[in-house]
Structure 1
Amino acid sequence: MKVIYSLVVCLSVFSISTLGKLHNETYTPVVLWHGMGDSCCFSFSIGGLKTKIEDTLPGIHVVSLKIGKNIPEDLENGYFMHPNKQVEKACEIVTSDPLLSNGFNAIGFSQGSQFLRALVQRCSGARVKNLISMGGQHQGVYGLPDCGSLTSKTCDYIRRMLNHAAYYGWVQKILAQATYWHDPLNEDVYRKYSTFLADINNELFLNHTYIKRLSDLNNFVMVKFLNDTVVQPVDTEWFGFYEPGQAEKVYDLRSSRIYQEDRIGLKRLDEQKKLNFISTEGNHLEFNWKWFERNIVDTYLRS
């Protein structure tokens, strides 16, 4: 028994020491969070991007968040698990990974962007350095023309629920997209009954922890897709939205209550030159690797 115990101890020590050597500490680890209708590990989407990052920055530790036991669960949870629960599970994943303990860069895609922002604001053990939002809906959405991988029948059903019952308690509980539905015609109703977005945007009262954690970022980078036909309005990708009472004219971030009252720390980030706006041609999440490498990898991930 002593021999077996000694062997186990030796193997454990070897594994821990080898783990450190396998990853290049030159590069800050990266955490990815996919969007609606996607999963952590599809080779044609986030899984493929993860591989490209690893090939470009040899030895870097990249985690693509999987919210569920397997890929189908992860995809399904992107629709039907409340973001609060998803963020809790993401917090458990990142805080239990020793290779992320000294900090990491976080890249969100579509709704994964606002979910990662919530992780920054809520998860005390998540030490995020650069937060990069690829087409995120930080002021919410008012329209859902494309439901990703769902069938047209299911998509139509979701769209009807959002248009007519987004703020019903049971809809907020069962449909993730309802929690960041932002009706500019009913701002008071949105603030009162949104169970996710209104909270992380400090719409009702000021959570000073949210403000501090977001303003502690090295950079908050927001990428807007100029020809986006999926996200309405596209200005939400830069924290803009429709002016209250109508759904045509939009305001930009710096004209917003969130910025002017500095309700989540964006004004502080801006004044410190840590708020970065990037735009690119293409529809929702349409970009090529060369663009991503030049604008994201080389600028924010190489150090």
Structure 2
Amino acid sequence: ITVSSWTSTSRWPCGYNAMGFSQGGQFLRAVAQRCPSPPMKTLISIGGQQQGVYGLPRCPGESSVICDWIRKKLNSGAYTDVVQKHLVQAQYWHDPLNDDLYKKHSLFLADINQERVVNETYKKNLQMLDKFVMVKFLQDTVVDPVDTEWFGFLKTGQAKETETLQESVLYKEDRLGLAAMEAAGKLHFLATEGDHLQFTEKWFNENLLPYLR
């Protein structure tokens, strides 16, 4: 299936495995949280923006005045009702400088990341995964910040310093159950050289196929 992002599923009698490319990674995680039947067994997020993005492809705001200006302009409209409902990229726009605005008006990401209230059903369903694999591209020029591919993000209130998943409130309060999943050995963090979604067939076969067996 390809709809501006790629998703792939392999079905088994007792459930299925799912693989999401780029934004497909967080969309499939939403499926795991919201649609537990049939059960998703393994989720592989390849370059997925699990904490959203705060930047444009190949245009990092912290190194370009023009890009930073565009990014700030996007903030003014990204959380309007019409944009949230009709522009898919707005669904995972995450503004660390306006955290209250993001939490109040983000229809998708703030919901599945449990940033308003904790939906215990979402949390329970995600923990049903046997494996949650996240792949980060070390030279990614499309996703900003790249740490979002491992569930990290920019620290709230500024747009320079990032924090890891383990340093975040989401993890410390275990709002998604990720801390419990890591303790149980269900979280897997993989990294590869290259730009966004750039990997070889050899790397794919050696590093990702074993999670599907």
Normalised to the residue count of structure 2, the TM-score between the two structures is 0.89
Structure 1 ranges of 4+ moved more than 6 A: 158-161
Aligned length: 203
Identical amino acids, percent of aligned pairs: 56
Q: Return 5+ residue gaps in structure 2 as ranges.
A: 59-69
Q: Tell me, yes or no, if the aligned pair for 1:35 and 1:110 is still in contact at 8 Å.
A: no
CA-based RMSD of the aligned residues comes to 2.2
Q: Does 1:292 align with 2:211?
A: no
Cα shift at 1:159: 7.2
**Matches of 1:39 and 1:293, distance apart in 2:** 18
Q: Does 1:181 align with 2:84?
A: no
Question: Which amino acid in the other structure matches residue 247 of structure 1?
Answer: A
Q: In the alignment, what sits opposite 2:82?
A: 170
Q: Which whole-Å deviations, capped at 9, do the CAs of 1:101-142 have from their partners, x for residues lacking one? A: 521111000000000000000013231111110000010000
Give the number of the structure with larger relative contact order, counting CA–CA contacts within 8 Å between residues 6 or more apart: 2
Question: Which amino acid in the other structure matches residue 205 of structure 1?
Answer: V
Cα shift at 1:35: 6.5
Q: In the alignment, what sits opposite 1:196?
A: 108
Q: Which has the larger radius of gyration?
A: 1
SS in 1 for 2:43: strand
SS in 2 for 1:188: helix
**Matches of 2:73 and 2:89, distance apart in 1:** 10
Q: Which whole-Å deviations, capped at 9, do the CAs of 1:133-156 have from their partners, x for residues lacking one? A: 00000100001226xxxxxxxxxx
Cα shift at 1:160: 8.5
Q: Return 5+ residue gaps in structure 1 as ranges.
A: 1-32, 41-49, 51-61, 64-98, 147-157
Cα shift at 1:100: 5.0
Q: Return the match for 2:139 from 224, 227, 237.
A: 227
Higher helix share: 1
SS in 1 for 2:18: strand
**Matches of 1:177 and 1:237, distance apart in 2:** 16
SS in 1 for 2:97: helix
**Matches of 1:203 and 1:185, distance apart in 2:** 15
Distance verdict in 2 for CA 1:295–1:244, change over 3 Å: same
Question: Which amino acid in the other structure matches residue 282 of structure 1?
Answer: G
**Matches of 1:39 and 1:253, distance apart in 2:** 24
**Matches of 1:39 and 1:201, distance apart in 2:** 21
Q: Does 1:278 align with 2:186?
A: no
**Matches of 1:131 and 1:102, distance apart in 2:** 15
Question: Which amino acid in the other structure matches residue 250 of structure 1?
Answer: T
Q: Which whole-Å deviations, capped at 9, do the CAs of 1:40-93 have from their partners, x for residues lacking one? A: 7xxxxxxxxx7xxxxxxxxxxx56xxxxxxxxxxxxxxxxxxxxxxxxxxxxxx
SS in 2 for 1:279: strand
Q: Which whole-Å deviations, capped at 9, do the CAs of 1:219-277 have from their partners, x for residues lacking one? A: 11000000000000000000000011111100000010111111011011000011110
Q: Does 1:261 align with 2:186?
A: no
Q: In the alignment, what sits opposite 1:77?
A: none
Question: Which amino acid in the other structure matches residue 110 of structure 1?
Answer: S
Q: Does 1:134 align with 2:38?
A: no
**Matches of 2:160 and 2:180, distance apart in 1:** 29
Cα shift at 1:179: 1.2
Q: Does 1:301 align with 2:212?
A: yes
**Matches of 1:194 and 1:301, distance apart in 2:** 33
SS in 2 for 1:264: coil
Q: In the alignment, what sits opposite 1:205?
A: 117
